[in-house]
Amino acid sequence: MADLERVPEVALAWHREGRSAVLATVVETWGSAPRGVGAQLAVSGDGEMAGSVSGGCVEGSVVVEAMEMISSGDGRMLEFGVSDEEAFAVGLACGGRIKVWLEPVAAMEEYLTQLVEARAQRLPVAYCVNMETGARAVEREGHAARFRTDQSGMEGDVFVHIHNPPLRMIVVGAVHIAQALVPMARLAGYDPVIVDPRPAFGAAARFPGETIVDDWPDAALDALGLDARTCVVTLTHDPKLDDPAIARALRSEVFYLGCLGSTRTHAKRVTRLEAEGFSEAEISRIHGPVGLAIGGRGPGEIAVSIMAQVTQVLRQG
């Protein structure tokens, strides 16, 4: 997942190391493609690859073309017709068409640098390139609908490539459900962070390789920062831990806030929040009890219901 999400950073690093690099970007494809519009593949001057623009059916041709234009100053559009047999081999029901834009990093270094810096600061940016003239720009304004839906695409002759901050899930409470939810979130493309000041719960052995913050939730969320690409899930059942996190999330831009607990527990939570001055509209942002009502039992099934609801809210509003 990291390889697929950090292609611009990898391409710029290769270029700065003197290895040269070409970026390949999907600008148009069939509806059931394994990699959607905006997917990228970086190819170094010595043939190393990072990322992907398909399920493998056109990668070889893209690499060959990239190697041939490694020092060229111009971009180039490639178009591939994928046969039914090739499509079936990579898990598609039928063939179709895919367009891939190739661009040497040497020609776009200034813009790629701006893009990578913005991504590091979790700022949404759009890289816009005119396929006819080669004009390029990195823009923060004018693409509100595309930023909201995470949708790259063509606008006339200009390809607008949306680079939103990586999705992030902050899980408050290193409990058994979190042990099932965190791996699912990572597989779905999220960068998970676990917050729990209790050493026995937030032990590294319980969450191998994951980021664990052992601070109180309000302080942890203040330090992490909350934005429109972040979701928060509280799982402790303990108002001393959950409520401060909920308060921070309700007055932020997080796209999802889900809180574990029964209907009765949630009613008590609402009463506490009302007493603290939160409005009905603010409190209505909480998904509680957390997760889709699929009748899930046990940590794994509850985690599935949470991940499904988070995805539903992200993609459908």
Q: What pTM was estimated for this model as a whole?
A: 0.72
Residues 120 and 244 in one domain: no
Q: Which domain holds residue 225?
A: 168-316
The angle at the Cα of 126, spanning 121 to 128, to the nearest 5 degrees, equals: 140
Query: Which of 112, 137, 163 is a domain's end point?
Result: 163
Report the CATH number at residue 179: 3.40.50.720
The amino acid occupying position 142 is G
Number of domains in the chain: 2
Q: How far is CA 16 from CA 12, 66, 74, 110, 112, in A?
A: 6, 18, 19, 12, 12
Q: What local confidence, expressed as pLDDT, does residue 2 receive?
A: 45
Cβ–Cβ under 8 Å, residues 90 and 56: yes
Residues 271 and 143 in one domain: no
Residues 130 and 220 in one domain: no
Residues 42 and 146 in one domain: yes
Question: How far is 140 from 127, CA to CA, in rounded Å?
Answer: 9
In the predicted model, is pLDDT for residue 248 greater than 90? yes
- CA atoms within a 13 Å half-sphere pointing along the CA-CB vector of 277: 1
Query: Which of 163, 188, 213 is a domain's end point?
Result: 163
Residues 73 and 194 in one domain: no
Q: For tokens 């180039």, what's the residue?
A: 76
Q: Which pair of structure tokens corresponds to residue 278?
A: 């939160």
Query: Which of 140, 163, 186 is a domain's end point?
Result: 163
Cβ atoms within 10 Å of 89's Cβ, excluding its own? 13
Q: What local confidence, expressed as pLDDT, does residue 47 receive?
A: 87
Residues 70 and 117 in one domain: yes
Cβ–Cβ under 8 Å, residues 163 and 286: no
pLDDT tens by residue, 130-144: 988 889 999 998 898
Q: What is the mean pLDDT of residues 29-43?
A: 80
The angle at the Cα of 36, spanning 233 to 2, to the nearest 5 degrees, equals: 55
Q: What local confidence, expressed as pLDDT, does residue 91 receive?
A: 46
Residues 257 and 220 in one domain: yes
